[in-house]
Amino acid sequence: MSETREIEAAIYNRLSRVIDPELGRSVTDLGMIAAINAVPSADNADIDYDVTVHVELTVEGCPLSETITNQINGAVASYPDAKLTPHIEVSSMSRDKLDDLVADLKAERKQNPFNKPGVKTRIFAIASGKGGVGKSSVTANLAATFAALGYDTAAIDADIYGFSLPRLFGVHTQPTNLNGMLMPVTAWGVKLISIGMFAGADRAILWRGPRLQRSLEQFLSDVWWGQPDVLLLDLAPGTGDMAISVAQALPNAELVVITTPQPSASDIAVRSGLVALQVPMKVRGVVENMSYYEHKSEKLRIFGEGGGQRVSEQLTEALGYDVPLMAQLPLVPEVRETGEAGRPAVLDADGALRTDGIGKTFRSLAEQLMA
């Protein structure tokens, strides 16, 4: 009897290293391991014990239940001191137990989790003066790059009227509602939330400023983000309500301004950076998109040239600190094609960061931002 109790205790300890992929906590801390029973094996001479693990998932039909049970199976089967056969019995938590768990998580998080002292999340708000410059495409590929480099990465689609991150990441599901707390959808290693994931989002959204601000507050406080290393926000074009709301809710955010080379875009892009004169945000740098199209080793400047450098110089002068031109991204049809198919172009089909031109460019941009 004492030996079986020792085995059960040792397995519980091993399960403490199995992490729920949505909540970022161990299954033991979350109370998901209801019981462990080890019984000497009577039917198989090659097996010392049959071990049954009773798992209670947070919600019935949890989309990641297979991932969790596979990890539990692996943790039990790898027990070194005896030959064990694991059996996983899966159910869902009672309403009372789930209520207690969510209450504990909400109490720990306390509203906007990114403004608490000691938070180490780097927050980058991706902005542009006008639409059509590839801001969302840059956000998606940059987020995928961070994730591929090993950073715990989250992204908020803060462009409520023109949301596009769900399509760019191939997301067609809604966030899991954990008793009033939402779990972000994970795609290509990035935790995502967007108004486009909710029912009815295919209709035109007619919201005034206060409701826009409330949507951002909900994305920050009603979604369980854990403690990501990087948070990206895909802002709406211009300097409207959402840009101001981000500055108020996330004063530690750093602005990354996206422009294209022509003056008609770069002149407007400067205005989005000048927001930093009126709100507590720093402009981290400028990215020039669609800088050139390469044809037979020749760089064709289809949209002119120099826009990114002009934005960099004007913001540096106006803000009184260096706002560098961090990247010049080529016009590559594949970025559009793979993005519309639901995979960021910086990743190969297996989700690994590409080592060719576009992969190197975004890797360099990510490393500069994190420096």
CA distance 160 to 246: 13
CA dihedral 229→20→342→133, nearest 10 degrees, is -20
Q: Binding residue per annotation — 296?
A: no
Count CB atoms within 10 A of the CB of residue 275.
Answer: 20
Q: Which of 261, 256, 316, 319 is nearest to 284 (CA)?
A: 256
Q: Binding residue per annotation — 132?
A: yes
Q: Which of 273, 284, 155 is nearest to 225 (CA)?
A: 155
Pairing of strands 185-187, 190-194: antiparallel
Coil, helix or strand for 302? Answer: coil
Q: Binding residue per annotation — 240?
A: no
For residues 43-74, one letter each, b for 16 or more C-beta atoms within 10 angstroms of the residue's C-beta and e for the rest, the string is eeeeebbbbebebbbbbeebebbeebbebbee
Q: Binding residue per annotation — 133?
A: yes
Q: Which helix (H) or strand (E) holds 4?
A: helix 2-15
Q: Binding residue per annotation — 129?
A: yes
Q: Binding residue per annotation — 90?
A: no
Q: Binding residue per annotation — 135?
A: yes
Q: Binding residue per annotation — 136?
A: yes
CA distance 149 to 328: 21
Q: Which of 26, 5, 9, 7 is nearest to 71 (CA)?
A: 26
Binding site, residues? Answer: 129-136
Binding site for ATP, residues? Answer: 129-136
